[in-house]
Structure 1
Amino acid sequence: MAPGTMTTAADLAAQRISLSPANTGFLLICSALVMIMTPGLAFFYGGMVRVKSVLNMLMMSFISLGIVTTLWVLYGFGLAFGTDHGGFIGWQGRFAGLSGIGLTELWGTSTVPVHVFAVFQLMFAVITPALISGALADRVKFTAWALFVALWVTLVYFPVAHWVWAAGGWLSGLGVIDFAGGTAVHINAGAAAIGVLLVVGRRIGFTKDPMRPHSLPLVMLGAGLLWFGWFGFNAGSWLGNDDGVGAVAFVNTQVATAAAMLGWLVYERIRHGSFTTLGAASGAVAGLVAITPACGAVSPLGSLATGVIAGVLCAAAIGLKYRFGYDDSLDVIGVHLVGGIAGSLLVGLFATGGVQSDARGLFYGGGFAQLGKQTVGVVCVLLYSLAVSFVLAKAIDLLLGFRVGEDEEVTGVDLSAHAESAYDFTGAGGGTVARTAPAPGAATASHAATAPGTTRKVDA
């Protein structure tokens, strides 16, 4: 992502920079694409949980749209992209409430208004805490989760976004390449998932009871929306289309995602003997995650390699939770943390020096310098997010209790937290309720739909 600060009218006149309607419109469209990723994530996660937790899973993503948007307007944008203070945090008073910003005031040396840059970055801030929710399915209090989202974006996401993307941010100054969020979004969320899991613990019945996805079509729909929205996520991060970098990022996004899906499926076939729809959807998301930091630094061939490597690594990583006993419900750690680490480090190998910057990776004559910088970025964001997330989750647990009671978990958090259920099976026949008693010996609709000697089972 092109960092920068606001540019004065005198600077703009000297550099002959003016507002570009094309770039402004493009970034507004990209902002909408990134926004639709959060509902897409809700469907992706919602399809992967059991029937009794679908609505709660959807709400854990949707609530981020409300909470993070409000905080971003009040102070989040100022903390993330305001005037730098020591490389670790920003602040600019006139950003509070997004006030004091001129109607056509441009962001940095870009040709888009500050308001457009702010709303584009807002959508990144919204989806990042929503990613964490997948690790906590079936077992956390909604009020505790909402409080965690508010505190986490304030103490973790806003500062890390400043480190990575803002002018003066210390990781940006070090030369760490993160085009659209490998560290700030995916490693950040994956490490946070570990921190919260250390407090919340495992679901009742983990490794013993079946916990299969209740709707694979929803999973595929969610993955498709994520793939679609990710073009805005990546291509929009260059803030314009004047030099072709955004076009390369768009191409690389498609290539790596396709390659990762194939890599995951091949691994799955060799390891488990089948190609699954869940594997195809998860592989695509793994590729999207991995190419996010690298899409402005590598070639399409580098994207192919990045995708295949990420697909295989993430497919292998999701099995680690059974070996080590941590209950990452929907594989946030296996996909987002591992994929984010892989993509960030592979920049140090595959960066060509001919796209967003002249930084070259090991395979393009750059030696180990860029790989070292990428490693510093990965390790620092991971440790910071893990530590602060653990402390926040522990504090909330002591204050409110982070986890629902055993009876509520067994019954389902949809009913206990939202007083609703996702599916009304009483109306499955699609007709009206009979007003008269059935004739003697006649079968009811529910029994007639089931062959003699069989039962109908819904995995709850």
Structure 2
Amino acid sequence: MEHQLPPNLRPDEASPEWMNKGDNAWQLTAATLVALQSMPGLVILYGGMVKKKWAINSSLMAVYAFAVTLICWMGWGYRMAFGDKLVAFWGKPAVALDDSFLLGQAFIGYFPTATMVWFQFGFAAITPVLIGGALLGRMNFVAWMMFVPLWHTFCYTVGAFSVWSPKGWLAKMGVIDFAGGFVIHLSSGVAGFTAAYWVGPRSVKDRERFPPNNVLMMLAGAGLVWMGWTGFNGGAPYATNTVASLAVINTHVCAATSLVTWLLLDIYVSGKPSALGVVNGLITGLVCITPAADLRLELGGEARSEAGVLEAVPRAGRGVSPPPRPARGCLELGVVGGLGPRPGGSRHRLELAGCRHPPYQLEALPRAGGLGPRPGSRHPPYQLEALPRAGGLGPRPGCSRHRLELGGGGPASWGCSRRCLEVQSVKPPRPPLPP
């Protein structure tokens, strides 16, 4: 009698031979975890960290950004980020709704393109939501409604195609971005700070006092973001393999170490712990490990988390955790934290035969001339050269004191000096006392 597979394992139209059901199931789960970071994670976080009068508006900004990004992503964004090449840094816009397109095999991995579209949407959605953190209480909601689709179309798709698409010019150079250090954190940090610069400061009354209206909501939202990062980094290998397992462990070890490090610094500097410091430390660790979560552990997670915290803590004389200032936090936690693992980002990279790691991150690296990552090697030069291109506005590692050049607006400090030029922290001079 001929052996037959069980009905649930037989290839058919709904389960083609090329599809790995385990990979597909995990990728869908990881995609949902990433989406939960924005909705409801950051919705709750933003609603709790601002003043009570801005709570609903801040949460609604995150909800709108999530929804409109999905429309843009399915309408033209995915094809511009991962489709056919239009120019060296951009794909051709096209609708991603055809059955023949969605049900075919993705360009990487053993699952349908529909799964890839949903997974990458989570990354596309959280990026403008992160930018919104710098604009809470600043931008009119109607202006935000116009800003999100425009930024997604002309900024996010450029970075995603350049770095993540196998046809992108930075990917062909061999630039490595495991799960979004360039495409998401660097771009959102620079964009958020720049947007806050041009929108302008809040009113004097609001700048002087900016207390969170609900600390419990803020911590709950941060917890959702933390747990959602399991899918953020664990889904980046596009397979249920040892790289995914390693990325998840590295992610949570780094986040926990960063949280405790920031908390201890708070106690050492100001004499008491801070809930805001807990959130800052947590986000710093998560951002810092993202570009290099697939590296072998070997205490790397702890070292990177501590380095990220020490780079991202504000150098103001008021302690480690100042009052919540979303624009400056966007720069310190997003940009500086995202650059934390860059200098060692190519060391001890785990290359396993048959691990189905993204080919444009391992196989397509230019090894001629010694540019490929080798165990124990230093940071490849093209990795640092890609920073200003991925960030969009030119943060150059060689600049004095890590200065960020804003187009037409003059230099602004990264928050690394005592005279931080973050626009909302500049207070007007006090009037003279009456005689």
Shorter-chain TM-score tier: 0.7 to 0.9
Letter in 1 for 2:75: L
Residue 72 of structure 2 is matched in structure 1 by 71
Separation in 2, partners of 1:174, 1:331 = 31
Give the structure 2 partner of residue 110 of structure 1: 109
Counterpart residue number, 1:366: 377
Name 1:272's counterpart in structure 2.
Answer: 270
- What residue ranges of structure 2 are gaps of 5+ in the alignment? 1-15, 366-370, 396-403, 409-435
State the alpha-carbon separation in 1 of the partners of residues 33 and 230 from structure 2: 8
Residue 204 of structure 2 aligns to a residue whose secondary structure is: coil
Structure 1 unaligned regions, length at least 5: 1-15, 392-460
Q: State how far apart, in whole Å, the 1-side matches of 2:119 and 2:317 are.
A: 35
Q: TM-score, normalised by structure 1?
A: 0.73
- Greater Rg over alpha carbons, structure: 1
Quick one: distance in 2 between partners of 1:208 and 1:85? 45
Cα offset, 1:199, TM superposition? 1.1
Contact 1:179 1:295 (8 Å CA) reproduced: yes
Change beyond 3 A, Cα 1:318–1:60: farther
Q: Distance in 1 between matches of 2:316 and 2:122?
A: 27
Partner amino acid, structure 2, of 1:59: L
Give the length in aligned residue pairs: 367
Partner of 1:331: 329
Aligned residue among 299, 302, 305 for 2:303: 305
For residues 163 and 182 of structure 1, the distance between their equivalents in structure 2, rounded to whole angstroms, comes to 13
Q: Deviations over 1:119-150 (max 9, x none)?
A: 11011111100101111111210010110001
Q: Distance in 1 between matches of 2:249 and 2:173?
A: 27
C-alpha root-mean-square deviation of aligned residues, in Å?
Answer: 3.0
C-alpha change, 1:318 and 1:50, in structure 2 (3 Å) is farther
2-side partners of 1:333 and 1:377: how far apart? 18
Is the contact made by 2:83 and 2:91 (CA closer than 8 Å) also made in structure 1? yes
Deviations 1:406-429 (A, max 9, x none): xxxxxxxxxxxxxxxxxxxxxxxx
Amino acid at match of 2:339: I
2:418 matched to which residue of 1?
none
- 2: CA distance, partners of 1:250 / 1:194: 29
Cα gap change, 1:374 to 1:214, in 2 (>3 Å): same
Deviations 1:230-273 (A, max 9, x none): 100110111111x4111111111111101111221122222222
Would you say 1:45 and 2:46 are equivalent positions?
yes
Match of 1:235 in 2: 234
Closer, same or farther: CA 103–331 of 1 in aligned 2, 3 Å: closer
Residues 143-173 of structure 1 deviation map (CA, whole Å, 9 limit, x = unaligned)? 1011000100000001111111001111111
**267-276 vs 351-360, which deviates more?**
351-360
Contact 2:48 2:218 in 1 (8 A): yes
Structure 1 partner of 2:133 = 134
What is the alpha-carbon distance in structure 2 between the residues aligned to residue 351 and residue 255 of structure 1?
A: 17
Q: Does 1:247 align with 2:245?
A: yes
Greater share of residues in helix: 1
Partners of 1:84 and 1:167 within 8 A in 2: no
Between the two structures, name the one with larger relative contact order (CA 8 Å, sep ≥ 6).
1
Question: Letter of the aligned partner of 1:19 in structure 2?
Answer: M
Task: Provide the residue aligned with 2:287 in structure 1.
Answer: 289
8 Å contact 2:135–2:327 — kept in the other structure?
yes
Match of 2:414 in 1: none
Tell me the secondary structure at the aligned position of residue 381 of structure 1: helix
TM-score by length of 2: 0.77
CA drift of 1:346 comes to 3.6
**CA deviation digits over 1:274-323, x for unaligned, max 9?**
22122112211111111111101342521111111112322236889x9x
Give CA-to-partner distance per residue, 1:43-91, whole Å, 9 cap, x none. 1122111111001110111101211100111100110000123431112
